[in-house]
Structure 1
Amino acid sequence: MIHFPDGAAFARALQALPEPDEQAIAAAAARQAMLTKPAGSLGRLEEIALFMAGWQRQERPRADRIRAAIFAGNHGVAARGVSAYPAAVTAQMVANFRGGGAAINALAAACGAELSIVPLELDRPTADICQAPAMSEADCLAALNAGAAVVDADCDLLIVGEMGIGNSTPAAALCAQSFGGQPQDWIGRGTGVDEAGLARKADAVARALHRHASHCTNAFETLRRLGGREIAAMAGAVLAARLMRVPVLLDGFICGAAVAGLARDNPAITDHCIAGHVSAEAGHARLLHAFGLTALLQLDMRLGEGSGAAVAAQIVRSALAAHDQMTTFTEAAVAQAL
């Protein structure tokens, strides 16, 4: 199991990222060249197969074991009216996840993913980021390690998602701190706030940046000052997955924001990640552009919960099925192009 004993260890891990296996990629590419289809005719499905081969270090990668880990946390900034729902909804939705009644339950089952629900001290919200750091160092480390703990080296693909009323506000602050721009560039309607709620979000992000920007000198400090427990947990899961060479399917804006500070310190952190979808949340397309990632799907989703990534997992499974199950020209006695 990956464990980060302190912020320095987290920083060292972020600078020691393993690379994909180039030999496995070459072997997978050679197989692709022999399959009964014109070269490149399956488009991104072929790219996905090679991507997965490199991280799984095998010519014929698998998607037999997909884990969807959904983290939940509460935020002090929610008291500023930045969400259309009260903070109590976070715990209510966790109960719904556990009861099997949420979108992610249905979508995880549809793509064959095992679902892990990880609530993080819901009775103790983070501090209001407009007034203080969201978390102490100990709290941030606990959240990072809760995320790392869900990653298993035997997992073929990891989906990370979240639930946390008000969390699109710290997500916007993380993105603005990591990639620049004004609060208005990163905020969106989240749970469906009106114009007044949108203005409160912009004000909260501006206040948080004014208070913390000069102290956000590395990914750990950025996460602990501007993030939240579920956001830090996703960051810990993504980094642990990279250290174990487990490919990650990213969900929406808040999931991406969890990686923003890491990407500022080491842009290579997203090399083992596929963007499952581009959400309807205003800043997500901008964030994916900063990562250099092109989403598999655009379905105007903005639910969170890992829902978009779970839908995209079907695309990954299709890519690997074609790569593994198609016959070669020789096996099928089909003449290759001259």
Structure 2
Amino acid sequence: MITPVRVGLVGYGFGGRYFHAPLIASAQDCEFLGVVTTSPERRAQVARDLDRPTYASLEELARAGAEAVAISTPAATHVTLAQEALKLGLAVVCDKPFALDAESARETAQLADRLGVPLTVYQNRRWDSDFRTLRRLIDQGRLGTLTRFESRFERFEPEPGPPAAGGGTLLDFGSHLVDQALVLAGPVERVYAQMHHRDGEGTLDDDVFVALTHHSGVQSHLWGSWRQGAPGPRFRAAGTSGTYLVDEIDGQEALLLAGTSPASEGDRWGVEPEDRWGQVLRGAHAEPVPSVRGAWDLFYPAFAAAVRGAGAVPVDPWDAVATATVLDAARASARSGRTVRLP
């Protein structure tokens, strides 16, 4: 146990209300101070949901004794708010996408390094049940050497399509898809992408495909869509001696949307039922694989420990810079129709 870190939340939209607030409140190593929002509607929601105060600004939150802040606001505001918080001496959790482009992401990471203030990025999908299971299988050698990684976030919600706050499908879904690919297979050598804009160029993209060639030799094929009527499997990870296939997306988001939390569920949190397990396939032979527990509840305790100097931040912000660099290259590839080679 450490002395709880006093944490505030900026923003109380979908992500703040359903993802960050219950996870901060569930973390014993965090003291949840309240929410920064100027919206009367959001202030009323905070009063109903949390019975915690609201603040008009980051400065007001800092004066109330905050040591850290989680930023869950529209994507275009992340860099400005993260840099303001860092300059106030507040440790920062920034939601994804970390920034709209790699240059802004790099400037923010450099600022945190220069000031010596902890900064991390909310790549919670690293703690998905299916991803943790896949990493265990690779570590155990049960797939042999990884050769191809296929990953999808596909939904069928053509109306209204991707929310503007996320910055489009490449930034919103792609931030998770690329981050997971980099964790599994390492740095990227070449990027090829295709993007669809339902309402024409210059509007939000609603369907993307990104192909990555990693220096390790692994090929990652990543799909993100709001208009896919037949979503594909969440993962198909092929190795030299077997393939891991899992159809369903991790269930922690559904648990949070249903009003449960790690605090209410205890040891049941993140446990996937047997009918949602994946399989290792070798031709006609299929072997069910018990899913490792989903563990979004580990993120904020790890962040609190980092703030107290007792460990590294859960996600290195420079990992998010690498992800933003790949996303920039994907955007350039989709515009030109050519493969982009990274330095």
TM-score by length of 1: 0.24
More helix by share: 1
More strand by share: 2
TM-score by length of 2: 0.24
Q: Highest relative contact order (Cα 8 Å, sep 6+), 1 or 2?
A: 1
